[in-house]
Amino acid sequence: MFASALRVSALAFNHYSTGVIPMSSVERVYSYSAVLMGSPILLKLFEDNQQAAQAVFHLIKQQEDMLTVNRAHSQLMTINHAAGLHPVVVSRPVFELISKAKTVSLMQDSCFNFTIGPLVKRWKIGFHGDTVPSPAEIQSLLPLTRPDQVMLDPQACSVYLAQAGMEIDLGAIAKGYIADRVRDLLQQMGIHQALINLGGNVLTLGTPRYGDQSAWGVGLKKPFAAPDALIGIIEVAGKSVVTSGIYERYFEQEGKIYHHILDPETGYPLDNELLSVTVISDDSVDGDIYTTLLYGMGVKKALHYLTTVPHIEAIFVTRTGQVILSSQRQFRFTLQDSDYQLA
């Protein structure tokens, strides 16, 4: 999530990160890494371009500073601090992102809810002090998670949270949004073959230059296994690959796992047959939104829903070891782990 500062910008040759598999290594790959948004960030280029890498990390840092809710100050925190008091004028990009998050949150039966902040803060899942709240606490926080009570004024470019105690949390969408901004920047700099991995949100530009390979190989992580264990490989070119999984951030209490994707209806972690949902799309912000939306639908409803949005494709991993693909128009998938079967 959003925390910590820019640490390093390191250069390495032919170095590959967890979750990203080289198809071969004939070309030199230059990998630059940093820890931002509380996650390892990796940039791969086919030329040594320290300046581009610095510009990318600078951009991510800038965006994080605007959107974080894990520090006292950011544009988002200014809105949250003014809940129930007054509207806050924000930059146009922040306003547009909030508008998008509100629209998705208000969709019928949407389990995406960007006003989930009070519950996220209380659960603290994956952070020091995470505990199961009492049912009474959950009931007292649920009325503060009302997307319809976020008042947007496009003319003034302002956001007002109508009730004191409300909090916007863009944790489910920010990395995707930022990944898209990184792609824009790389393209402006004339870089059209690259890969950026924002702690699990992978965005590829063009094709790699590994020999004659026409696709990047992105690993699909094996849930609750070693960090580099993979279920299989997703091959894509010029696409975003985003995964939301219940194994990413969780804690265990009395043998039960409490993970970080909350059900806005109940206030508890979403509980269904899924371990993870991966979305393949053009834009990473869509991938980030749809992983949450589809997660909440469960496999059957999600597969049906996806027939209406052809530009979005998904891979579902279930608790019973099934890997289910909605379709395979924009990617190829190769299963590698015998604990899982293609359904």
124 closest CA partner among 227, 1, 303, 6: 1
- How distant is the alpha carbon of residue 80 from its chain centre? 21
Site for Mg ion in 90-109 (CB under 5 A): none
Does the footprint of Mg ion cover residue 288 (CB under 5 A)? yes
For residue 79, the one-letter residue type is I
Residue closer to Mg ion, measured from CB, 56 or 261: 261
User: CB under 5 to 8 A by kind: which of Mg ion, ligand AMP, none does 169 bind?
Assistant: ligand AMP
Q: How far is the CB of 201 from ligand AMP (least distance, A)?
A: 8
- Of 136-155, binders to Mg ion (CB under 5 A) are none
Nearest residue (CB) to ligand AMP, 85 versus 257 = 257
Site for Mg ion in 27-86 (CB under 5 A): none
β partners of residue 251 = 258
**Angstrom distance (rounded) from CA 277 to CA 315:** 6
The answer to whether the annotation marks 172 as part of a ligand binding site is: yes
Q: Is 180 in the site for Mg ion (CB under 5 A)?
A: no
Q: What residues line the site for ligand AMP (CB under 6 A)?
A: 1, 111-114, 116, 120, 169, 171-172, 244, 260-262, 264, 288, 291-292
Is 194 a residue that touches Mg ion (CB under 5 A)?
A: no
- Whose structure tokens read 């508008």? 99
* 20-21, strands of its sheet edge to edge: 20-21, 216-221, 230-236, 332-335
Q: Which does 111 bind (CB under 5 to 8 A by kind): ligand AMP, Mg ion, none?
A: ligand AMP
Of 49 and 276, CB closest to ligand AMP? 276
Instruction: Yes or no: say if 275 and 246 are a contact pair by the CB < 8 Å rule.
Output: yes
Cβ-based neighbours of 95, under 8 Å, separated by 6 or more: 152, 154, 157, 158, 159
State yes or no: 288 annotated in a binding site. yes
Q: Which residues are annotated as a binding site for Mg(2+)?
A: 172, 288, 292
